[in-house]
Amino acid sequence: MQAVPESNGLTRVALESGQLNLVADGCEPKPLDRKYVKPDPKEVISDVSSGDQARQLLNQKMANLEMELAAAKAAHGALVSGASWSNDLIAKISFFLSETKNTNTGEKRKKLEEEKGIVVRFVIGHSSIAGGILDKAADAENKRHGDILRLDHVEGYLELSAKTKTYFATAVSQWDADFYVKVDDDVHVNIATLGHTLVRHRKKPHVYIGCMKSGPVLAQKGVKYHEPEYWKFGEIGNRYFRHATGQLYAISKDLASYILINQHILHKFANEDVSLGSWFIGLDVEHIDDRRLCCGTPPDCEWKAHAGNLCVASFDWTCSGICRSIERMKEIHRRCGEGDDAIFKATF
């Protein structure tokens, strides 16, 4: 990874967005391939001996110490650089891959940063052709608005797990945050409501917040969300372990630091939300299932808003986001939004 510049101001939560199409719990998958392919015995990991277990335990303890040290260094670096602490909670980093960027003006971004400690960025990597048309377009856009964070990563749908890993490693290196949040760009988010949701878990260690699911492991080649390593999850037809759906999730700072420290050995599965969940499955992590992070589009989120139970995020399960988001986003915001001034009136 390339070195990232120091942050000009201290922030505490990062939120990123990207167009990631992920299978949702309850969706009807195509029939599973019932033909079982026995893995090569050479690829099957043998049982570890008691000595190996002891070494693994020691390595885990060392990793935890390194994670705490990295978090402490980040906080110290922010203080040394002149950043000031405040009571603000949320900052936003967005992962942007489509042509929907038309709501975050430079003036409003500056106000969010100065008054609320909220940093808004659309985060992308690079095209496979370095310096090509797409890269030049992104650079020109960033020159005009200054709201794009470039990752040292080559874009591609099959590289989303790698991109998610690089995002968290980059974000925790650049921003000192209490939480780091990822949200797809075709999901409607009430940022003030998200902030109030996160602040309830602020004092907890090792927190992983999202709309938890356990979708099917698809063994059949050629289908969407096919998992080439399906055999690692047991018999054909099994389901994944519980993990947050990819439309929106948040992780605490110590978990983002863990990804930064261990990124070179964290395994990447086919689906990025599964990959993230797998990185925490063996750790002492608290999984928080908050269904307000996965409301449906109107009438669902509208009914809840009228009842005083605002949704954090709204999308259509059938599209793993808002169907026809460019056309419908403003209408959904009008019917389900918390109000354009809510974030500036909120206190965390």
**Which residues, in sequence order, are bridge partners of residue 13?**
179
Contact 13, 195 (CB under 8 A): yes
* Angstrom distance (rounded) from CA 320 to CA 329: 14
Q: Terminal CA-to-CA distance of the chain, rounded, Å?
A: 33
Range with lowest mean pLDDT among 96-100, 102-106, 300-304? 96-100
Stretch 151-171: mean pLDDT, rounded?
A: 90
Q: Tens digits of per-residue pLDDT, 268-280?
A: 999 999 999 999 9
Q: Prior bond to 228 cis, omega within 30?
A: no
The pLDDT, as a whole number, for residue 142 is 85
Work out whether the CA dihedral 111, 115, 116, 121 comes out positive or negative. positive
* Residue 318 DSSP code: G
Contact 177, 86 (CB under 8 A): no
The pLDDT, as a whole number, for residue 154 is 87
Contact 19, 93 (CB under 8 A): no
pLDDT band for 75, please (50, 70, 90 cuts): very low
Higher pLDDT, 238 or 49: 238
The pLDDT, as a whole number, for residue 202 is 92
Range with lowest mean pLDDT among 83-87, 181-185, 328-332? 83-87
Q: Tens digits of per-residue pLDDT, 187-211?
A: 999 999 999 999 999 999 999 999 9
245 by DSSP, 3-state: which?
A: strand
How far are the Cα atoms of 55, 191, 237, 274 from residue 36, in angstroms, in the given order? 34, 46, 11, 22
* Angstrom distance (rounded) from CA 171 to CA 256: 8
pLDDT band for 15, please (50, 70, 90 cuts): very low
pLDDT band for 35, please (50, 70, 90 cuts): very low
* Angstrom distance (rounded) from CA 329 to CA 172: 30
The pLDDT, as a whole number, for residue 157 is 77
Stretch 99-114: mean pLDDT, rounded?
A: 67
The pLDDT, as a whole number, for residue 55 is 55
Number of Cβ within a 10 Å radius of residue 260: 21
Residue whose C-alpha is closest to residue 96's, from 185, 187, 186, 188 = 185
Average per-residue pLDDT for the chain: 78
Q: Tens digits of per-residue pLDDT, 209-268?
A: 999 999 999 999 988 889 999 999 999 889 999 999 999 999 999 999 999 999 999 999
Q: Prior bond to 39 cis, omega within 30?
A: no
* Angstrom distance (rounded) from CA 347 to CA 286: 25
pLDDT band for 27, please (50, 70, 90 cuts): very low
